[in-house]
């Protein structure tokens, strides 16, 4: 009797949100430096997988530079994707532009088939195709995901319309995420320009011309020949007859010779270094050739290059408030890589926060820092035992920037362990996230 698990009629199906990601230009990166690329990719992948777990997702398949993850919630999948791109951008900023490992991410909500720990089906395939439409460091989502999150997350989208993907039977409504919570931006794919559609119309028009050329060319040339003959006849009839003496005979004898009376000659006779306004009776000469004598006042550009060095980046921006997001610690020989969510508050140029750490919450992290008028952020995080005034266990210094409602910082512990903090303004932290095991 065959195993019931092998019966195709008993295949398990479910609705899931699938996140598909792979590295842009991975072949080029590997071709230039295999070992350095693999080291960078492994570090990025650890951050990726930690954030997937933090958002209650599950990585169910990896192959080469590709990663597939499953989420029960479309909202959590998109939150995870934006956190991933923020954290990886901070890591990539430390690398030369041509050595940065940037993921494209596609997210789809659809029906999938379960096969052991793996997921298969059109729902997975669409997510993989959406990923190819995203820009490096960007995110594309399907219409089904957009319908679920548009009123639940503060994001900005660019509609790419219905796109046809390879081996996908139906067009897929596609959106590119252009702006995330807090005002940060993502590389966003642009909608197809009208020029692309216009090109198709031009080809159609050209085909029509070719089809009509055989019968229409003779009629066209005959019509043009007739018009030419009529024009020649009319020109012959209306040709004026000379009835007055030549113009030269009407010039008074007091006029200067033609060689000096023409405008061209007069202009050439004047000294080349003097403008026309230097002649008697003209306006006063300009101080520089080619510049008006009384130029209109030119409005000063609000921020010249000199001003840019002194003008605060945060003028007019409301920066005070709550911020939250991931804090990630890199892997060491003794400690695994891990990420957790935390939050802090900016008020009057100061940033503060604290949260419990450890499985039994016997440690507490205390955060203090400064935010300058130019957007520079300096943070000191100190881990204490049991209370904020308890024994000091470890500390870490972070530096970065606040821009468009995003705090992006990085630094190291005293022992050299790297860490990053990527927070958004208004990103609330759930209590079960804050106090969970880290």
**Sequence spans of domains, the chain:** 11-191, 321-434
- Is the pLDDT at 431 greater than 60? The verdict is no
pLDDT at 432: 39
Q: What is the pTM of this model?
A: 0.58
Question: Mutual orientation of helices 74-92 and 34-54 as an angle, nearest 10°?
Answer: 140
Structure tokens at 403: 């821009």
Segment of 215-219, 415-419, 430-434 carrying the highest mean pLDDT: 415-419
Stronger pLDDT, 7 or 151, i.e. the higher one = 151
* Residue recorded with tokens 């508050």: 345
Phi-psi region for residue 183, left (φ > 0), alpha (ψ -120 to 50) or beta? left
Distance CA(367)–CA(380), nearest Å, equals 6
Q: Percent of the chain having pLDDT more than 70?
A: 66
- Is the pLDDT at 146 greater than 80? The verdict is yes
Q: Which residues pair with 357 in a beta bridge?
A: 363
Taking the C-alpha atoms of 76, 79, 84 and 86 in order, what is their torsion angle to the nearest 10 degrees? -170
304 HSE (CA, 13 A, CB side)? 4
Structure tokens at 194: 């009208």
Question: 11-191 with 321-434: one CATH topology?
Answer: no
Identify the CA nearest to 355 among candidates 343, 347, 345.
343
Class of domain 321-434: mainly beta
Stronger pLDDT, 23 or 220, i.e. the higher one = 23
pLDDT at 315: 55
Structure tokens at 202: 């031009």
Q: How many CB atoms lie within 10 A of CB 215?
A: 9
Lowest mean pLDDT among 33-37, 243-247, 262-266: 262-266
Which whole number is the average pLDDT over 138-167?
A: 94
- Is the pLDDT at 140 greater than 90? The verdict is yes
Q: How far is CA 337 from the centre of its chain?
A: 28
pLDDT at 7: 57
Lowest mean pLDDT among 22-26, 154-158, 403-407: 403-407
Burial of 361 per CB tally in 10 Å (0-12, 13-18, 19+): middle
Q: Percent of the chain having pLDDT more than 90?
A: 46
Stronger pLDDT, 60 or 386, i.e. the higher one = 60
pLDDT at 123: 95
Distance CA(167)–CA(185), nearest Å, equals 31
Q: Using an 8 Å Cβ cutoff, are 94 and 420 in contact?
A: no
The architecture in CATH of the region 11-191 reads 2-Layer Sandwich (3.30)
Structure tokens at 86: 């923020």
Alpha helices (runs of H) in 185-341, residue ranges in sequence order: 194-238, 258-261, 263-269, 305-308
Stronger pLDDT, 277 or 37, i.e. the higher one = 37
Distance CA(403)–CA(376), nearest Å, equals 9
Lowest mean pLDDT among 17-21, 150-154, 189-193, 240-244: 240-244
Burial of 286 per CB tally in 10 Å (0-12, 13-18, 19+): middle
């Amino acid at each position: 009797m065959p195993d019931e698990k092998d019966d195709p009629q008993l295949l398990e199906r479910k609705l899931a949100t699938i996140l598909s990601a792979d590295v842009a230009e991975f072949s080029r990166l590997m071709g230039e430096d295999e070992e350095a690329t693999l080291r960078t990719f492994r570090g990025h992948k650890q951050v990726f997988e930690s954030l997937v777990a933090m958002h209650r997702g599950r990585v169910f398949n990896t192959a080469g530079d590709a990663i597939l993850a499953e989420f029960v919630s479309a909202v959590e999948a998109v939150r995870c994707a934006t956190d991933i791109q923020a954290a990886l951008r901070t890591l990539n900023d430390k690398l030369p532009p041509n050595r940065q490992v940037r993921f494209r991410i596609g997210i789809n909500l659809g029906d999938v088939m379960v096969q052991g720990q793996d997921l298969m089906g059109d729902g997975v395939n669409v997510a993989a195709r959406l990923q190819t439409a995203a820009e490096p460091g960007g995110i594309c989502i399907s219409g089904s995901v957009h319908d679920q999150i548009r009123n639940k997350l503060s994001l900005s989208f660019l509609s790419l319309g219905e796109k046809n993907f390879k081996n996908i039977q139906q067009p897929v409504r596609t959106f590119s995420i252009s702006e995330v919570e807090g005002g940060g931006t993502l590389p966003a794919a642009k909608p197809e320009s009208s020029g692309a559609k216009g090109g198709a119309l031009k080809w159609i028009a050209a085909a029509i011309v070719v089809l009509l050329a055989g019968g229409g060319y003779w009629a066209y040339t005959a019509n043009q020949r007739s018009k030419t003959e009529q024009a020649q006849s009319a020109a012959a009839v209306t040709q004026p007859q000379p009835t007055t003496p030549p113009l030269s005979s009407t010039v008074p004898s007091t006029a200067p010779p033609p060689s000096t009376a023409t405008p061209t000659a007069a202009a050439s006779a004047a000294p080349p270094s003097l403008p026309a306004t230097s002649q008697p009776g003209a306006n006063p000469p300009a101080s520089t050739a080619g510049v008006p004598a009384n130029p209109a006042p030119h409005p000063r550009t609000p921020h010249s290059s000199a001003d840019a060095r002194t003008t605060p980046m945060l003028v007019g921006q409301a920066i005070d408030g709550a911020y939250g997001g991931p804090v990630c610690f890199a892997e060491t020989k003794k400690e695994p890589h891990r990420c957790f969510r935390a939050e802090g508050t900016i008020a009057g140029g100061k940033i503060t926060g604290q949260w419990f750490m450890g499985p039994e919450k016997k440690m507490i992290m205390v955060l203090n820092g400064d935010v300058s008028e130019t957007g520079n952020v300096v943070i000191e995080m100190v881990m204490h035992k049991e209370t904020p005034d308890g024994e000091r266990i470890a500390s870490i210094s972070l530096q970065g920037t606040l821009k468009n409602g995003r705090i992006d910082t990085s630094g190291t512990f005293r022992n050299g362990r790297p860490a990053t903090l990527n927070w958004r303004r208004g990103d609330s932290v759930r209590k079960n996230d804050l106090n969970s095991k880290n």
